[in-house]
Amino acid sequence: MKLAVNYSNALIRLIRENQLKVDLIKCPDWEGMLKEAAPFGEITIHYDLDAGLGITPSVDFSRILKLKECTATPHVNTHLVTPRNHDPENAQEIITINKLWRREISLMVNFFGEESVALEHFPYTHNMPNIRTAADENIFSQVIQDSNCMLLLDLAHARITANSLGKDVRDYIQALPLDRLVELHITGIRNYGGILTDHFGLSAEDWQLFEWAMINIKNRTWRKPEIVAFEYGGVGSVFAWRTNEQVLREQVPRLYNMVHD
């Protein structure tokens, strides 16, 4: 397993000053950022791809493959989503979106290969009711099984979704196809503006869930992922305000030791 951490100015500064060690720098597929990060370590790319909106056929797969091959990116990720007008109570709409998911993911699997496509579940909150179908653990798992792709498990997304569904997060996770796990994401969540939101530093509850996941991985109850990504930090108005250098100093070494123990 390798530890990846989100690209941020604070992370690069700490790496440059030899105050922090990571295996991979996690970046979006922004070519400017990739060039900036390259001198400081190997890069893994997290793509902003969504299955369920009908736009996958227009994606430039050749560009994605080229970026994948020139970085340390082992697989191509895509989120399972629904259009904003999707009604999770409408049985016919559920059938329609299931067909669309399989068509879109099959395009990716046919191009990149079964083990090179990883499906990620989106966090379901009550202010985005349309996502409930995609976040249902049984529906999500069946899409992976039918598409012969792999699983990207985001622990924060699982916590948010389980909380919204009134379920235990461990039960929610255990229902997923963990024998197909190739990447694990960890980040802190907190109530922000009345909504559970991720990409914060880890709290005690976040650490407990991560420790439980690592026990399952090291006991071989779950498949061992290739990457464990700490999705903390970033650039721009969405992420810069919640990027604290001290959080990186304190939490990245602990994560690194747990991943490499």
pLDDT, tens only, 192-209: 878 888 889 999 999 999
Which of 99-135 are b and which e, b meaning 16 or more Cβ less than 10 Å from the residue's Cβ? ebbbebbbbbbeebeeebbbbbbbbbbeebbbbbbbb
pLDDT at 159 (0 to 100): 95
pLDDT at 261 (0 to 100): 85
Please give the mean pLDDT across all residues of the chain: 95
Residue 112 vs residues 44, 62, 76, 203, 243: alpha-carbon distances, Å: 16, 10, 8, 37, 34
Q: Is residue 241 classed as helix, strand or coil in its secondary structure?
A: helix
Mind listing the pLDDT tens digit for each residue in 11-29?
A: 999 999 999 999 999 999 9
The whole-number average pLDDT for the span 72-85 is 96
- Compute φ and ψ for 155, nearest 5 degrees: -65, -35
The whole-number average pLDDT for the span 141-154 is 97
The answer to which of 169-173, 175-179, 219-223, 237-241 has the lowest mean pLDDT is: 237-241
Q: Are 232 and 6 in contact (CB under 8 A)?
A: yes
The whole-number average pLDDT for the span 231-254 is 89
Biggest CA–CA distance in the chain, Å, is 57
Name the CATH topology of 45-235. TIM Barrel (3.20.20)
pLDDT at 255 (0 to 100): 98
Please check the confidence at residue 36 and state whether its pLDDT lies above 80: yes
pLDDT at 40 (0 to 100): 97
- Tokens coding 167: 């379920």
pLDDT tier at 51 (50, 70, 90 boundaries)? very high
